[in-house]
Amino acid sequence: MYNPSAAARIATELVGKIELLPEFPKMGTPVEMAPVPDSIRDMVFGKYVVRYSVHTSAIIILRVWHSLEGER
């Protein structure tokens, strides 16, 4: 069932967590299957996973998915 207010709340909380990444880039766990595991990380927030790449001058969000979707 679609709940617009719940979706908006989750989106706001998720963006808030993502905004912390520049200050705490290693808050996620390394993705062991990545060529350079420490540079690709997963941050879990509730039922969501944010995969991101850490660079010297940037953090790039690679993917956001619900844990029930599975990793692709």
In this prediction, residue 50 carries a pLDDT of 96
What CATH number has the domain bearing residue 56? 3.30.2310.20
pLDDT for 53: 97
Q: CB of 29 within 8 A of CB of 42?
A: yes
**pLDDT at res. 39:** 93
Look up tokens 């996973």; give the residue: 49
> What domain count does the chain have?
1
pTM of the full structure: 0.85
Q: Which of 56, 47, 46, 45 is nearest to 18 (CA)?
A: 45
**pLDDT tens, the chain, 72 aa long:** 688 998 899 999 999 999 999 999 999 999 999 998 889 999 999 999 999 999 999 999 999 998 887 665
Provide the domain limits for residue 12: 4-69
